[in-house]
Amino acid sequence: MKKLIFLIPLSFLLSYQNLHAEEKASIYGVGAVNCGKYLKLIENNNYLIAFSIWKSGYFSALNSVRTGLGEPAVNLNDKRLSPDAQDTLIKFICQQSRPDNIFSGVAASVYGHMAKQQGIDVWDVIGVHTK
């Protein structure tokens, strides 16, 4: 029990240290997978679900950063590009791009596409100007 009590504050401290704006962001989990591996993995539906779940969290995090900066959030429930259509677009982009492109970068371009459809400029968050 003492170890658990010690580890919980330690985990908050480590998480807080990663939030400094001047540090570079790191992508963990399936977001760091390249397109070549992604295309092989999603042949198994369980992996497709895992990538879709990661993408949803990633888009939510991007929206959280945007609103924290006083910028409008992208509507993630926009019927013009449903979550399934987002997954299909990510797969298409990966099929058309270099196999070493990173999944999170492709997902960010889909987020930027959704923002553009909604008339939102997302330059400051993902580094791609959409207008």
* Alpha helix positions (H), the chain: 2-17, 35-41, 45-68, 83-96, 103-117, 123-126
pLDDT band at 19 (very low <50, low <70, confident <90, very high): very low
pLDDT band at 28 (very low <50, low <70, confident <90, very high): confident
Write out the two tokens for 126: 């993902």
pLDDT in tens, 37-67: 999 999 999 999 999 999 999 999 999 998 9
Q: What is the pLDDT of residue 16?
A: 36
Write out the two tokens for 54: 């990661």
* pTM to 2 decimal places: 0.73
Would you say 92 and 53 are in contact if contact means Cβ atoms under 8 Å apart? no
Which letter, b or e, does each residue of 94-130 get, where b requires 16 or more Cβ atoms within 10 Å of its Cβ?
Answer: beeeeeebbbbbbbbbbbbbbbbebebebeebbeeeb
